[in-house]
Amino acid sequence: MDRRSFLKTSAAGTAALAAVSVLPGCNGSEKKSRKASGVELNISFQEGTAPGDDLSQKLDFMESLGVTGFEPGGRGLSDRVDEIKAALNGRNIKVSAICAGFKGFILAEDPAVKELFDTTMREIIVAAGELGSTGVIMVPAFNAQTPCKPHTLETRDYLCEELRKLGDFALEHGTTVILEPLNRKEAFYMRLVADAAAIARDSGSKGVKAMGDFWHMQEETSDYGALMSAGKEYLQHIHIASRGNRKMPGEDGELDVYTDGFRALKEIGYDKYVSFECGLAGEDRAAAVTNAVNLLRKQWTEA
Ligand code: MG
Q: What digits encode the pLDDT tens for the residues 215-270?
A: 999 999 999 999 999 999 999 999 999 999 999 999 999 999 999 999 999 999 99
Mean pLDDT, the chain, integer: 91
Q: Average pLDDT in the 195-204 region? A: 98
E strand or H helix at 232, and its extent?
helix 223-234
**What residues are paired with 213 via a beta bridge?**
239
Q: Yes or no: say if 138 and 178 are a contact pair by the CB < 8 Å rule.
A: yes
pLDDT over 80 at 296, yes or no: yes
Listing DSSP states for 206-229 in one string gives TTEEEEEETTGGGG-S-HHHHHHH
Phi, psi of 202 (to 5 degrees): -75, -15
Tell me, in angstroms, the distance from the centre of ligand 1 to residue 176's CA. 17
Q: Yes or no: say if 303 and 263 are a contact pair by the CB < 8 Å rule.
A: yes
Tell me, in angstroms, the distance from the centre of ligand 1 to residue 157's CA. 25
235-240/208-213 β-pairing: parallel
Tell me, in angstroms, the distance from the centre of ligand 1 to residue 34's CA. 28
pTM metric for this prediction = 0.88
Q: Yes or no: say if 96 and 273 are a contact pair by the CB < 8 Å rule.
A: yes
Tell me, in angstroms, the distance from the centre of ligand 1 to residue 88's CA. 23
Tell me, in angstroms, the distance from the centre of ligand 1 to residue 36's CA. 29
pLDDT at residue 8 in the model = 46
pLDDT: is 299 or 29 the higher one? 299
Tell me, in angstroms, the distance from the centre of ligand 1 to residue 283's CA. 23
pLDDT at residue 291 in the model = 98
pLDDT: is 262 or 11 the higher one? 262
Percent of the chain scored above 70 by pLDDT?
A: 88
